[in-house]
Amino acid sequence: MFAKLIVHLATAVSIAALAVKASADSAQDDYDRLCSTCHGTRFSLQSTTVPSVDRLAATIRDGDARRGMPAFGLQLSPERIDALAKLTAEHVAARAVLGRRVRAETLDPVRSSGFVLMRAQESGLPYIGYFGERSSLCYPDVDLTGVRSVELSYAKGSDEAGRFAILAGDGIAKAQFNLAEKNTVSTGGWETFQRHRVGLDRELSGRYELCFYGVAGGGILNLESFMLSEEPGEHDGLTLVFDEPAAPVLEAAGHRFVLERVGEAPAELWSMAFLPDGTLLVTQKNGQLLLFKSGKLLGPVEGVPQVWNGAQGGLMDVKLHPQYAQNGWIYLTFSDPGPDSSTAMTRVVRGKLNGRRWVEQQDIYRAPERFYTQHYAHFGSRLVLADGYVYFSIGERQQPQLAQSLAHPYGKIHRLHDDGRVPTDNPFVGHADALPSIWSYGHRNPQGMAIHPRTAEIWSAEHGPAGGDEINVIRKGANYGWPLVSFGRHYDGTPVGPSPYREGVEPPIYHFTPSIAISQIAFYEGDAFPHWRGRLLVASLGQEELRLLQLDGTTVVEDRLLLQGFGRIRDVSVGPDGHPYLLLNRYTSGVYRLRPEQEMGIGNRE
């Protein structure tokens, strides 16, 4: 039902409003550059009183040697110092404390994921929409002393079951507390906000990060605001547990191995790529490109393109050019915001790293504005590079019939030269009403792509509806059938077509029914797990599985489960050390790798 929601944004602004926005942007840029490393994404103080803007401006200008704060008077003009002081004062004033109502949109965008900032159609008030299962809305520096309940102003327009949790912690450094869980009820409309009190299971003292986490349900709620209260309340029991147990020794497909965590991140991760010096590039869905070295998070890369971070959109795939050592090109895919940020579309760029800064950006694929849409899902967004070409996927953006239309980019895998030019031998070049970048069509939402290391074929993994997740070998000009055929069913239980087969449609080489919510795939050719060589690693989101497929050409002859239940696996890749690496997203996110038991020096544990 969330697909029916529309992001309502004002289209007319005055010159004065534009000036205010420019000033705010400048202050935010200064804060991100000068303050965020020490103070985090939002400035906070231990004091319960808000210092004056003049006092904050004086400290910014002159520094505070007792606290180790440098002076910025030589770097910033008086006007920018005043703007930065006002911004930090707003941060302090907006923090959540007992009895103060907090606007939902004041969340920490780095720690939060799976939401869209929206405006009510009638009142124009902002709220957080698209909050569903696995969504997370986090608010830093919340004083929970004396808090016994949280009163939420939320809206829900359906009777579909939904459940959320209230979590507390100090980010990824310590385990989080599950303070409460609550089932949501319909309020009569997605913009009909009502207040509901949730009692906490325990009382805490001091400052914490407070997060609302989607436990179950596609459309759990839209959140307008919340307030901390000393009044008692009730909750619906606790089901989430956060203690991460010691890594067990797992055994599958001829090997005993351990799932080892090698890096942590603040929010949902999407894709990874290994640089020649061992540095790991990881995309964080909220728009940050992170650098890891020897398991340590070095920080985000500055200057990456702005993304539409909402629902299924964000910063997605990252890949190195095959000749990266010579040319330095790195490719990114992301959901690109439209002119008024109410629409978005899959976009592909390439750029280079200069230290920790993104430079020399070039567009590889940017769709015309008419293809930007308010549909919030199915961006596709995997890519591979081979033989001077870049292949990338775009989902059908919840417009199934357009996957069959060669005049639209949705539901396609596209092929371009690695600099963005259209190859003259693409299958639909010169065809009337056909986009020349299309390589194959009839796809639903391909979020996995890999090159077969022995045949050089392009393989893809594609989300089905209710069942029918597919693995396909991508062939020039082929039609893969969506929405005409599928091994799955529509979400209402009706069949997609009279048969999963149809003349002129390329069938999958393998399908998962029921669905595993397939994500990325990777061929294994490493040395760490010799019994796995030549097989295909398959990651999943919903079932939290890593599977291993044994192949005979393009026929799957065995399907083995390697592990399950450690988190949603968004990416799987084989590192230069021959180990499979995973990106796991659960209550926190991290980079993990599979290591043989004998490498860990832990002996034979039963």
**CA–CA separation, 316 and 438 (whole Å):** 21
- Residue corresponding to tokens 């070095």: 298
277: helix, coil or strand? coil
| Contact call for residues 259 and 291 (beta carbons, < 8 A) | no
Query: 78-94 vs 15-34: helix axis angle to the nearest 10?
Result: 80
Which residues, 6 or more positions from 316, have their beta carbon under 8 angstroms from its beta carbon?
A: 270, 271, 283, 285, 332, 333, 334, 335, 379, 381, 382
Spatial separation of the C-alpha atoms in residues 587 and 581, rounded to whole Å: 19
Exposure pattern of 541-568 as b/e (b: 16+ CB <10 Å)? bbbbbbbbbbbeeeebeeeeebbeebbb
Residue with tokens 């004065």: 16
Of these residues, 196, 255, 378, 463, which one is catalytic? Answer: 378
- Partners of 586 in beta bridges: none
- Residues 171, 133 contacting (CB under 8 angstroms): no
As a whole number of angstroms, the longest Cα–Cα distance in the chain is 77
Q: Is 378 tagged catalytic?
A: yes
Asked if 554 and 509 count as a contact pair (C-beta separation under 8 A), the reply is: yes
What backbone phi and psi angles, to 5 degrees, belong to 255? -140, 150
Q: Which of 160, 300, 165 shows the shortest CA–CA distance to 217?
A: 160
For residue 259, CA distances in Å to 65, 154, 247, 256, 307 come to: 45, 39, 6, 10, 32
Neighbours of 203 (CB within 10 A): 12
Compute the distance between CA of residue 284 and CA of residue 287 in angstroms, rounded to an integer. Answer: 6
The residue whose two tokens read 């702005």 is: 306
Tell how far CA 98 is from the center of its chain.
32
54, two tokens: 């003049």
Q: Confirm if 353 and 329 have CB atoms less than 8 A apart.
A: no
> Hey, what are 272's tokens?
């990874």
Question: What is the rounded distance in angstroms from the CA atom of residue 424 to the CA atom of residue 437?
Answer: 10
The residues near 49 (Cβ < 8 Å, ≥ 6 apart) are: none
31 pairs with which residues across the strands?
none
* The length of the chain, given as a count of residues: 606
CA distance 535 to 530: 10
**Closest to 357 (Cα-Cα) out of 421, 318, 300:** 300
Catalytically annotated residues: 378
